[in-house]
Amino acid sequence: AGLWGNHENKRYNSLEDGDIDEALGAAKVIGDDYLQKQARGYAVPESFNHGTSAQRFKWLKKGLDRGVFSEGNTFDFNYNDL
């Protein structure tokens, strides 16, 4: 999503600061950890399928800021750096 936003905005200049803020805010509240805490009161990391809120926020922001596909390898990243 971040890569798309970066390239779309370069081409059409259609994103406003509020759009980016909303997207980043959404990334924070759709992580598996956040959703599980809301539903159960606790999170079970072993059951995560789509990443934590911090991971989703990080990758969206990186894609929006940099727009470089080769920097988006989520399988080769030290998540302790978050």
The 10s digit of each residue's pLDDT in 46-59 is 999 999 999 999 99
pTM score, whole prediction: 0.86
Query: Which positions ≥6 away from 62 have C-beta within 8 Å?
Result: 2, 71, 72
Residues 23-36 have pLDDT tens digits of 999 999 999 999 99
Instruction: Determine which helix (DSSP H) or strand (DSSP E) holds 39, and give its type and residue range.
Output: helix 32-40
Q: What is the mean pLDDT of the chain?
A: 92
